[in-house]
Amino acid sequence: MTFGKQYDEYLSFFEGELKRFCAEMDYRPPVLCESMRYSLLSGGKRVRPVLFFGALAHFGGDYTKEAGLAIALECIHTYSLIHDDLPAMDNDDFRRGNPSNHRVFGEANAILAGDALLSEGMCLLLKEGKKSERHLRAAQYLADAAGAKGMIAGQSADLLYTGKTGGEEELGFIYAHKTGKLITAPIVMAAILCGGDEEKAEKFGEALGTLFQLTDDILDVKGESAKMGKTLGKDREEDKLTCVKVYGMERAELLADRTAANCHAHLRALGGDGFLASLVDLVRTRDN
Amino acid sequence: MTFGKQYDEYLSFFEGELKRFCAEMDYRPPVLCESMRYSLLSGGKRVRPVLFFGALAHFGGDYTKEAGLAIALECIHTYSLIHDDLPAMDNDDFRRGNPSNHRVFGEANAILAGDALLSEGMCLLLKEGKKSERHLRAAQYLADAAGAKGMIAGQSADLLYTGKTGGEEELGFIYAHKTGKLITAPIVMAAILCGGDEEKAEKFGEALGTLFQLTDDILDVKGESAKMGKTLGKDREEDKLTCVKVYGMERAELLADRTAANCHAHLRALGGDGFLASLVDLVRTRDN
């Protein structure tokens, strides 16, 4: 199967499961459910669930059995976007081509929608954790990755270094945490569930997370906002610590190429893989 | 042992464990850990952990073994206070007698401190859930109680009915969710862990949750802000849906008395208990 077809297969399976999950959100008050659904169903490339499914297939697992963990992953990712877009945080009016959550539902509802998606993600992890010891360990890995030592530490550092001087070390911390943790998690979770090499999976995930944020920073300067679905040029405007600020565009692009090569090397150590290798190339060459 | 001495024993055990938990928060960036610690260690009556310990003792359990779940409970409660105090939400400048989290650390850091405490609470639940099947079930009960169908639904309804007309039914929904869920959880968790009667525990918890919010609404009108450690009179100013608004003060007081009697009846159905009965009386007669 071609890469594109495989991606679509994973994506359409995930979208179907996610729609089913959202259809069950019919409790009170309606505004809470609506605001959660609005952000969950606003599309996006679903990189993390697709990565999880691709890694499961790589390690010999059956991805159709792990929709619960994939939805938990997307709930947690989506909550982080809603809170990140808030006026007190990055103050973004657009996300995935649509008005951001607080622009539609107001700040208070957006804070609660984020809290609710984080909570529901964690509830799903506890539910999935009941299936087996491996599931509980995979769930714990994701929860830790999203937590105070993980993604949130990265968000906090991102705020801390905005408008300040900072170099390679600080940038590396932001990359590894803000983006890296939730890109690494699906790969390591797949290894845990299938008995794969967790350490090598983690190394591959960390490299891919770095690549993802490098290209994100580069696209904030060079991308087209219509394709990206959000306002661009904001990093420079707000003086964010990005690879473009630290290295300049030319060296940032070289670094992205080197990091992509690094991803492929780590992937070969994991036994190589057609789908995951193409996913690395997609992350490097994407325009959205 | 007298009620006061027993309360102090639970409290001092809990404070010791919580301090140890906070001492391990020494990761990057410091501002994240500081803001989490600031709110976690700002005192308060620790009603939920004490209630959990009292209920464990009632059902024949050993409370000193369940510090992890008690800390998870307090992390989740504390996150809800931090987010509730935000300018976009209730806009409260004081909490537990100190400036609220966003007044000290700024809005963005307060949002992240709340996210981090919710996440760390959930991480603790997954960790505790590994101990036994009963622990996992108790952890799941708390996660659900805090989630989108639980406490957050109550917060959302509280916002929704602010400045609007609403009656007994709407008030009941807010009470049962915003406050009731996290008061009921420690009692049911204790029943789950010790093999007690979960249904009766839930009934008692729901009545106690209602009593807690009734007295909270009453104290917002009649209390002393120095004792309460927060600005009072805000419910009326913001036209919140409270028992005083729906019933008037006189009938609200009568309802609180009837609800306290109701708590005692449910407690008798659970086999009666000196400590928990005194805790009911404390909730009814408290001035803070």
pLDDT (tens digit per residue) in B147-169:
999 999 999 999 999 988 889 99
Q: Which of B106, B136, B148 sits opposite A130 (nearest CB)?
A: B136
Tell me the Cα Rg of chain A: 18
Judging contacts by C-beta atoms under 8 Å, the chain A residues touching residue B33 are: 148
Class of domain B3-285: mainly alpha
- Minimum-distance CB partner of B148 among A89, A120, A159: A120
Interface test with B, best of A79, A85, A92, A126 (most B CBs within 10 A): A126
Cα separation of B114 and B81, whole Å? Answer: 8
Residue B177 pLDDT level (bands cut at 50, 70, 90): very high
Interface predicted TM-score (ipTM): 0.97
Residue in chain A closest to B147 (alpha carbons) equals A119
pLDDT (average), residues A22-27: 93
Report d(CA A209, CA A184) in Å as an integer: 7
CA A219 – CA B217 distance, rounded (Å): 51
d(CA B81, CA B66): 23
Q: Please, what is the average pLDDT of chain B?
A: 95
Chain A residues near residue B31 by CB distance under 8 angstroms = 156, 160
Look at A126 and B116 and tell me if their CB atoms are within 8 Å.
no
Tell me if B116 and A143 make a contact (CB, 8 A cut-off).
no
pLDDT computed for residue A44 by the predictor: 86
Q: Which of A67-71, A242-246, B226-230 has the highest mean pLDDT?
A: A67-71
Quick one: pLDDT band at residue A224, thresholds 50, 70, 90? confident
| Chain A residues inside the 8 Å CB shell of B109 | 156, 159
Of A32, A107, A108, the CB nearest to B148: A32
Chain A nearest-CA distance from B104, in A, is: 15
Q: Which of A256-260, B97-101, B111-115, B138-142 has the lowest mean pLDDT?
A: B97-101
Q: Do B112 and A147 touch (CB under 8 A)?
A: no
What length is written for chain B? 288
Q: Is the peptide bond before B29 cis (omega within 30 degrees of 0)?
A: yes
The answer, yes or no, to whether residue B225 has pLDDT greater than 90, is no
pLDDT tens-digit map of A155-196: 999 999 998 888 999 999 999 999 999 999 999 999 999 999
∠ CA A103-A104-A107, rounded to 5° = 55
User: How far is it, in rounded angstroms, from Cα A95 to Cα B34?
Assistant: 31
Is B120 close to A147, i.e. CB distance below 8 A?
Answer: yes
Size of interface A-B (CB pairs under 8 A): 153
From start to end of chain B, where are the E strands?
A: 94-95, 98-99
CA gyration radius for chain B?
Answer: 18
Q: Indicate which of B152, B182, B241 best probes the interface with A, i.e. most A CBs within 10 Å of its own CB.
A: B152
Kindly state the percentage of chain A with pLDDT values over 90.
87
Q: A95 - beta bridge partners? A: A98
CB pair distance less than 8 Å for A148 and B29: no
pLDDT at A56: 98
CB < 8 Å to A79, chain B = 115
Summarize the confidence of residues A39-62 as an average pLDDT.
96
Q: Is B29's CB within 8 Å of A119's CB?
A: no
Residue B144: the pLDDT is: 98
How far, in Å, CA of A263 to CA of A265, rounded?
5
How far, in Å, CA of B82 to CA of B109, rounded?
10
Q: E strands of A97-147, at which residues?
A: 98-99
Q: Is B152–A119 a contact, with Cβ atoms under 8 angstroms apart? A: yes
CA dihedral B79, B84, B86, B88 (to 10 degrees): 130
Quick one: what percent of chain A has pLDDT higher than 70?
Answer: 100
Assess whether pLDDT exceeds 80 at residue B273.
Answer: no
Q: Tell me which chain B residues have a C-beta less than 8 angstroms from the C-beta of A144.
A: 123
Given an 8 Å threshold on Cβ–Cβ distance, is B123 in contact with A143?
yes
Which letter, b or e, does each residue of A177-201 get, where b requires 16 or more Cβ atoms within 10 Å of its Cβ? Answer: bbbbbbbbbbbbbbbbbbebebebb
**A78 contacts in B (CB within 8 Å)?**
none
Shortest alpha-carbon distance between residue A32 and chain B (Å): 7
What pLDDT, on the 0 to 100 scale, is given for residue B288?
Answer: 84
**Closest to A279 in 3D by CA, of A187, A217, A188, A190:** A187
Q: Is the dihedral of CA B180, B70, A139, B141 positive or negative?
A: negative
Task: Examine the pLDDT at B272 and tell me if it is beyond 80.
Answer: no
Residues in A closer than 8 angstroms to B85, CB to CB, are none
Identify the pLDDT of residue B229: 82
CB A218 within 8 A of CB A259: no
CB contact under 8 A, B153 and A111: no
Tell me the HSE value of A161 on the side-chain side, using a 13 A CA sphere.
Answer: 27
Query: pLDDT tens for residues A187-209?
Result: 999 999 999 999 999 999 999 99
d(CA A42, CA B136): 33
For an interface test with B, the pick among A156, A164, A173, A238 (most B C-beta atoms closer than 10 Å) comes out as A156
- Least Cα separation, residue A208 to chain B (angstroms): 22
Measure the CA–CA gap between A120 and B150, rounded to whole angstroms.
11
Backbone angles phi, psi at B55, to 5 degrees: -70, -40
Instruction: Check A149 against B89: CB less than 8 A apart.
Output: no
Mutation for testing the B interface, residue in A111, A144, A171, A178 having most B CBs under 10 Å: A111
The one-letter code for the residue type at B106 is G
What residue ranges do the domains of chain B occupy?
Answer: 3-285
CB contact under 8 A, A123 and B144: yes
3-state secondary structure of B74: helix
